[in-house]
Structures are given as C-alpha cells and as structure tokens.
Amino acid sequence: MVRYPLMNTKTFSQEADFIKESAKIILEACKLPNAKIALSGGQTPEPILKELSHHVEKDNATFYQVDERYTEKTSPDSNQKMIRDSLNPKNFITFDTSLPIEEALSNYQNQLPNQFDLIVLGIGTDGHTASLFPNSPATEEESSPVAHTQTSEFTIPDRLTLTFPPILHSKKILVLLKGQNKIDAIEKFPASKLLKHQNLQVHFLV
C-alpha cells in the first residue's frame, strides 16, 4: 500500500490481531469524556464490534451511524441491525428509516454532534466510503452534514449517509480494510479525500 505522509497504516496478517488492535482504538475513544463515535456498516467491522462488546467502557460512548441502507431496521441488510447485534450499544443514535427519506435525514441531522471523536470507515473496491459513491453528487457536498444517495451496484439502492464535512471534521478516522482487493482502495475517489485528514489511521488485513 502506498504510504502518504499523514496516513498511519498498520498491516496485519492475522485476523485476530486486526480485530484486537482495531477494537483497541475504538475502546480508547470510548474512554474520552462524552465520547461520540460514528460506525460504518458492511462486513469488516462486525467481528471488531463483537470484540468491543465485551468491554464495559463502550457504554461511556454515544454511537452514531456513518450511513444506513433505506430499509427496515430489522432487515438483514440494515447497518443498525448489524451494529446492535454485534456491539449491543447502550447509547446509539440511528437513522430512522421508518420515516420518509427527507424526514429521516433532518431528524438524524438534528441529533448530530458538532464534532465526532472517532469515525470508523470501510472502503469499497470502487473507492466508495460511507454511502458516498464515486458518481454521487453528495461527494462534493460542502454544507449539509447528511445526504440521500443511490446505488445500483450494491444492496439496497437508497442510502442515508454522512457527507465529507462531518467525516473530515472528526478528531480521528479509523479505516478498516480487509483483503488484497482493497490494497489501493483509499487512493480511489472519493475515499482519497480522506488522505488529507490529519489523524487518519488505516488498518489493513492482507
């Protein structure tokens, strides 16, 4: 993986170490006063959140969603279902997908903090992160902290997502990448926008 000056990358060959070290970073953030942490969905975070669920300090934090598929919160495709089932968060602020899209976005926006302590992101092989897809106009959004995006490439076409302003304003970003097919994912737009963040930690499981 190409190294960038601001990016702190750790490469793991053992999944157990990847899980342990990634959970440790999130746990450290949980110990901050009034910790505010935003979590992505997808597959990579699940075992890390399960590991984190064993640590009582997680209950000090308020968790938020980076993005959500516009589906029932009980759907197997729901990010909040994955997070609830794996982390069992005590304090969890979610997109309310039972509302119409615009109402769900404004309802969530009204609950956002001024700044996250940590945002945990994955990246797709196409370079999408959160639900900010390469062809999404929302990748260039400069004012609204949330957006509705759409995809025909991935499950559930309608998505609710944070935009880059709150992501890049976070005190710290942890990117979780699993598999050789992700080796250059962070160099692809729009994930490459993360490379200008001053406190970017990448964990890469080869």
Q: Which residues bind ligand 6PG (CB under 6 A)?
A: 40-44, 66-67, 79, 122-124, 128-131
Shortest distance in whole angstroms from residue 26 CB to ligand 6PG: 15
Q: Are 135 and 190 in contact (CB under 8 A)?
A: no
Instruction: Report the C-alpha gap between 107 and 22 in whole angstroms.
Output: 30
Residue nearest to ligand 6PG (CB): 122
Shortest distance in whole angstroms from residue 53 CB to ligand 6PG: 18
Shortest distance in whole angstroms from residue 24 CB to ligand 6PG: 19
By beta-carbon proximity to ligand 6PG, the closer residue of 50 and 60 is: 50
Instruction: Report the C-alpha gap between 36 and 113 in whole angstroms.
Output: 7
By beta-carbon proximity to ligand 6PG, the closer residue of 35 and 167 is: 167
By beta-carbon proximity to ligand 6PG, the closer residue of 5 and 138 is: 138
Residue 69, classed as helix, strand or coil, is: strand
User: 158-162 and 67-69 as β-strands: parallel, antiparallel, unpaired?
Assistant: antiparallel
By beta-carbon proximity to ligand 6PG, the closer residue of 56 and 104 is: 104
Shortest distance in whole angstroms from residue 200 CB to ligand 6PG: 15
By beta-carbon proximity to ligand 6PG, the closer residue of 61 and 185 is: 185
Listed as own residue / partner, the contacts of 51-54 with beta carbons closer than 8 Å and 24 or more positions apart are 51/19, 51/20, 51/23, 52/23, 52/26, 52/27, 52/87, 53/86, 53/87, 53/88
Tokens of 72: 């029932």
Instruction: Report the C-alpha gap between 69 and 150 in whole angstroms.
Output: 10
Shortest distance in whole angstroms from residue 56 CB to ligand 6PG: 26
